[in-house]
Structure 1
Amino acid sequence: MDELPIGRRVAYWRGRRKMSQQVFADRLGKSKSWVDKVERGVRRLDKFSVVYDIADVLQVDVTLLLGKEVERKPEAQNCIDQVEVEEIRAALERYDQMSAFFQAVPHSPPLPEMRKAVSHAWLTYQHAKYGVLARALPKLLRDAQAADSAHANSEEASHAAHLLGQVYQIASSALRKVGEHELSWLAADRSIAVSQRAGDQLLAGLASYRVGSALLALGRVRPSLEVNVNIANRLAPVGPERPKADQLSVYGMLLLNGAMAAARIGDAATVRDLLCGADQASLELGGDFNHYWTSFGPTNVQLHRCATAVELGDGRLAVEAHLSMDKAGFQAMLPERRAHHYLDIARGYTQIGDVERAGEMLLEGDRLAPSEIRCRPLAHEVLSDVLRRTRGTPPAPIAELAEQMGVGV
C-alpha cells in the first residue's frame, strides 16, 4: 500500500466503505465514468476542493488520501493501527448534532438494531478483540451520532442519547488501551455531556470513570483522583434502603479508579481507604457482576489490590495478593480483565527481580487475550524489561512473543 497513486487510494477507501462506484459517484455529484477514470489514474485530481469532497464522502482525513499509507503489519491485525485510529478520529470530529439543528438527518438506524450493536461492541471490548472493535467503531460512532440527532426531539431522545454515550465510552476505553490518550479523553468527555441528556446518573458516573482513566493515562493524576472521588461521593449509597446493584457497581468502580490514581502519587493511606470502600460495596453487591459493563465485584477489588500495589512499587505485596486470590472468581472474569491482571502481575514480578515469572505472566496473558498483551504500549515496555534483564538467551516462547510484538531481543 506504500506510495499508491491517489486514484488507487480512493478505490481502496471506497472499498473499505463498501460503496459501489455508482453510489460513490452519486454522493459526489459525479458520473460513474468519472470515478472509474480517477481510480484507474486516467483522470487527475488536480483540485483540492474535489479531494476534500472525496475525503468527506469517504469519511477519512484528507491526509490519508494525499499522504503515505500506513503500513499494516500482519501481527497488528488484532490491534488498533493508525488507519483505524484516523477513522475513529474522523468519526469523533463529526458534529451531526449541530447539522441536525438546520436540517433533518437523512438516515438513522433503528434503535433496536443500535442496542444490539452497542451490546456486541461492549462484549467485543471485554473479550479484548481490539482489532475487530476498531474496524466496527467508526461506523458505530456515525450511526449512534445519527440516531441521537434523528431522535433529538422525539420520545426516544433519552434512549438514543444513552446509546451514543455508551459508544463514546467504548471508544474511550479502546483508544486508551493503545496509547491514544488525548482521543480517549475527548471521547470520554463527550460521553459526560451526552449522558446528562440521557438523564442517567449512573451512565454519567461511568463516563466520569472513563474521564478519570484518560486523565490518569495522560499523567494528570490529581485531577483523575478528584473526578473519581467526587463523583463516587455523589453516587454513594445513603439511607436505610438497600442500594441497587448497578449503583453499587458504578460507585465501586469509581473508588477503584480513584485508588489507582492515589497509588500513582504514592498516597498509600488514600489507596487503603478507597479500596476499603470498594470492598464494602462489593460485599453489599454479593458477588461478581457485569452491571453497566463494569465487571465489578469482590474479584475485581482483589485485582485492584494487586494493581495498586504495583503502582506503589510494592511488587511483593502484589504477588502475594495474586497468589492468595480466589481462583474460581478469577477464572470467571472476562478475558480483558484477566489478561490485564497478568500484565499487572508481570510488572510486580519485575519489581522483585523475578523476570522468569514475569515472562510467564506475559505468556499467560497472551494465551488468554493476545490483543491485551500485543497491542498495549505498557506490555511492550514490560517485555523489553524482561528481555533486558534475562541472562543469556531468553526462553523460546518469550523470544517468539518478542518477535511477534516487534520488541528487540
Structure 2
Amino acid sequence: MDELPIGRRVAYWRTRRKMSQQVFADRLGKSKSWVDKVERGVRRLDKFSVVYEIADVLQLDVQLLLGKDPQRRPDSINCIDQVEVEEIRAALERYDQISAFFHAPPEPPALPEMRKAVGHAWLTYQHAKYGVLARALPKLLREAQAADTALANTASSAGAAHLLGEVYQIASSALRKLGEHELAWLAGDRGIAVAQRADDPLLAATATYRVALSLMSMGRARPALEVNVNIANRLASGGESGEATEPERLSVYGALLLQGSMAAARIGDMATVRDLLAGADDAARQIGGDQNHYWTSFGPTNVQLHRVATAVELGEGRLAVDVHENLDVEAFSALMPERRAHHYLDVARGYALVGEVSKASEMLLEGDRLAPSEIRCRPLAREVLSDILRRTRGAPPPPVAELAEHMGVGV
C-alpha cells in the first residue's frame, strides 16, 4: 500500500475504521465534500498539521499514513502496531495451496527447523512477548504455509499440516489479546481446517476453542458456549482421542470446559458455569498437577484462575477475591507469565467490583511487573485502568500514574 497516493491511503484506513465520509468529516471539523476530494486526489494534503489531525482521528501512526515505516516509541516496543497487523493479515490472506495446482511450490523450510520455530513462538506467546511475536508471525505463517503446500500428498504432509495448524492458533491467540477479533477468528477457523488434515483431533479441538474465544470477543458468547461444550462432549467419550495420551486428552477436554464456563458466565448462566468448572476440576484431579499439554496450561491451578474469572464475569467480586486469596502460591508461581498476568487483570476487576480500588491498582501493577505486554497492550486492561482512575480519590499513586502515562490513559 506504500505506493498509493495519500488520499487513497486515507480512504483505505477510514474504511478499515468503519467510518463513513460524513462521520470522518465531522470528527475532523471538515465537510464531506472536502473528505471526498482528498480521497479522490482532487485536493492535496500539503499541510502536515492536517495530516497529523487525520492520523489522530484514524488512530494511526502518521508515518503509516504517509506510506513510511512507523517510528516505534520505546515504551510501546512490546506492543503490536498497525504495520504488523497488516503484515499478519497479508500472510493470512495468501492462498498458495491453490497456486500449487498451476506452478511447482517453492522449496519448503526443513520441518525440524519449523518445529523449533513454532515451539519458540508458543513460548513467546506464553511469556506475553506480544510485540516480538507479532514481528515473527508473518514470516512464520508464510513458511508454515509453504511447507504445508509443498509437502501435500507426501509422507510428511500430516506433520506440515500440524505445524501450520499450530501457527494459526498462535496467531489467533495473539490477535485476540490485542483487540483484532475478526483476524483472530479467521486464523482460528483456518486452524480447524488444517488440523483436520493433520489427523489430530486434539489439535482440532484446541483450534475450536481459539475460535470460541474469538466469538466471545465479538460478543457471541452463546455460540462460543455451544462450540466448546459440543467438542468437549465428543472428547469425553474417548472416541476421538486418536493416539493421544490420557493426560493430553484430559488437558484439552478440561481447557474446553474452562472456556465454556467463561462463555456461560458471559451470558449469566450460573448453573452451567458451576457444572463446567466441576467437570474441569475433575479432569484436573485426574491429571494430578498443572501441565502444558497442547499449550493449554491446564491443571488444578488454572481451574482456580477460571473460578476467579467467571466470578468476575458474573459480578461476584467478593467470590473472585476470596478464591484469589486462597490460591496455592507455589503452584501459581509455576504457571507461565501470560497466565499469571492475565489472572492479575481479572483480580483487579474483582477488587474494583467490591470497591477496593487500591488493591485493584496493586494487581494491575503486579501484572505489569510480571508481563508488561499483557497489561499495556490489551484493550481490556485500558478499560480497567480507566475505571480505577475514575474511582480514585485525589491524585493516583505515582506508579499508577506512570502506568497510565505509558498506556495513554488520561489521569
TM-score (norm 2): 0.82
Check conservation: 1:168, 1:188, Cα contact below 8 A.
yes
Give aligned pairs, total.
351
- 2:27 corresponding residue in structure 1: none
Match of 1:251 in 2: 253
Query: What is the distance in 2 between the residues matched to 1:333 and 1:106?
Result: 40
What is the aligned partner in structure 1 of residue 195 from structure 2?
Answer: 195
Contact 1:91 1:141 in 2 (8 A): yes
Alignment of 1:10-409 (within 5 A): 67=67, 70=70, 72-238=72-238, 244-409=246-411
Q: CA deviation at 1:66?
A: 7.0
Residues 83-113 of structure 1: CA distance to partner in whole angstroms, max 9, x if unpaired? Answer: 1101000000000111112221123100000
Asked if the contact 1:237–1:243 (Cα under 8 Å) also holds between the matched residues in 2, the reply is no
- Aligned AA (2:145): Q
Q: SS of the residue aligned with 2:109?
A: coil
Question: SS of the counterpart of 1:154?
Answer: coil
SS in structure 2 at match of 1:206: helix
Give secondary structure in 2 for the equivalent of 1:101: coil
SS in 1 for 2:100: helix
Match of 2:114, as an amino acid?
A: M
- Inter-partner Cα distance in structure 1 for 2:327 and 2:66: 53
Q: Which residue of 2 aligns with 1:47?
A: none
Deviation per CA, 1:248-298: give whole Å up to 9, x if none. Answer: 000000000000000001000000000000000000011000001110000
Give the counterpart letter for 1:314 in structure 2: E
Q: State the percentage of identical aligned residues.
A: 74
Contact 1:3 1:68 in 2 (8 A): no
Backbone CA RMSD of aligned residues: 2.2
What are structure 2's unaligned runs of at least 5 residues? 7-62
Q: CA deviation at 1:339?
A: 0.1
Match of 2:35 in 1: none
The equivalent of 1:43 in structure 2 is none
* TM-superposed deviation, 1:74: 2.6
Q: Partners of 1:306 and 1:163 in 2: how far apart?
A: 33
Give the AA of the match of 1:282.
Answer: A
Amino acid at match of 2:253: Y
* Alpha-carbon distance in structure 2 between the residues aligned to 1:169 and 1:368: 24
- The offset of 1:312, in angstroms, is 0.3
Q: CA deviation at 1:69?
A: 5.6
Q: Within 1, Cα distance between the matches of 2:125 and 2:101?
A: 33
Task: Give the AA of the match of 1:310.
Answer: V
- Distance in 2 between residues matched to 1:65 and 1:393, nearest whole Å: 36
**Alignment gaps of 5+ in structure 1:** 7-62
Seen in structure 2, the aligned counterparts of structure 1 residues 204 and 353 have a Cα distance that, compared at 3 Å, is same
Q: Displacement of 1:135 after TM fit?
A: 0.5
